[in-house]
Amino acid sequence: KNNQLKYKRVLLKISGEALMGSRDFGLDPETVSRVAQEVASVREMGVEVCLVIGGGNIFRGVSGAAQGMERTTADYMGMLATIMNALAMQSALEDIGVYTRVLSAIPMQSVCEPYIRRRAVRHMEKGRVVIFAAGTGNPFFTTDTAAALRASEMDCDAMLKATKVDGVYDSDPVKNPDAKRFDQLTYKHVLTEDLRVMDASAITLSRENNIPILVFSIHEQGAFAQVMKGEGKFTIVT
């Protein structure tokens, strides 16, 4: 059945905020379960799935720095936040019978596995959902860049960016009712127009490694599976 798949191996980037639900901080267990269900249904299609989860729902380095904290220290706190989110997602996935492994860019031996590329590839070949935690392991980066990096390392056929809206717009569609939506974009257009897809380093890395970015709404039920079939609403950046 795998031969009919458009994308055999994908990376899904979920921001920390996407796991907040209607709260203004932390994790909403119902939302985490719902996203886990989305992942499970794509896994059931036979697609190999890995995840990068952000930490913005708990801590962001720039916010810490704005309050006077040393930037690199604040960034490490942000990376630790992504590990918490990864563990929550692992728990939600295991609850519904999906095999997972959390691999952290910052080794945390008694909590999860360290990130070792070959090991990650092996997990994916065995059908486990690999959750990449702690971003790139370096300060001054974001989990968007971590997503583009891991998607490149895992040789993913596509990177999916789960957002609150059904694609990329030329301005915030929540604030501007006349915002124009794109079905298709080039990396170059995204960079020159500074469109809000992912940060520039993530776009550049994806472009260099020819990884299409598919932006879709995680709030639509079944959207992840639909996008994998080339259906539903999404913006593709190539």
Name the segment binding ligand UDP (CB under 6 A); options: 15-23, 113-121, 167-175, 216-224.
15-23
167 is an interface residue for ligand UDP by CB under 6 A? no
Q: Does 54 bind ligand UDP (CB under 6 A)?
A: yes
Query: For ligand UDP, which residue of 21, 139, 173, 212 counts as binding (CB under 6 A)?
Result: 139
- The secondary structure of the chain in percent helix, strand, coil, rounded to multiples of 5, reads 40, 20, 40
Among 143, 163, 217, 235, binds ligand UDP (CB under 6 A): 143
**182, HSE (Cβ side, Cα atoms, 13 Å):** 22
Binding residues for UMP: 55, 75, 136-143
17 DSSP 8-state letter: G
Rounded least distance, CB 56 to ligand UDP, Å: 3
Which residue blocks in 67-197 are alpha helix, DSSP H? Answer: 71-95, 117-125, 143-153, 187-192
**Backbone dihedral angles phi then psi of residue 127, each to the nearest 5 degrees:** 90, 10
Half-sphere exposure of residue 215: CA atoms within 13 angstroms, side-chain side: 26
- Told to check if 88 binds ligand UDP by CB under 6 A, we report no
Binding site for ligand UDP (CB under 6 A): 15-17, 54-56, 60-61, 75, 78-79, 81-82, 135-136, 138-139, 141-144, 146
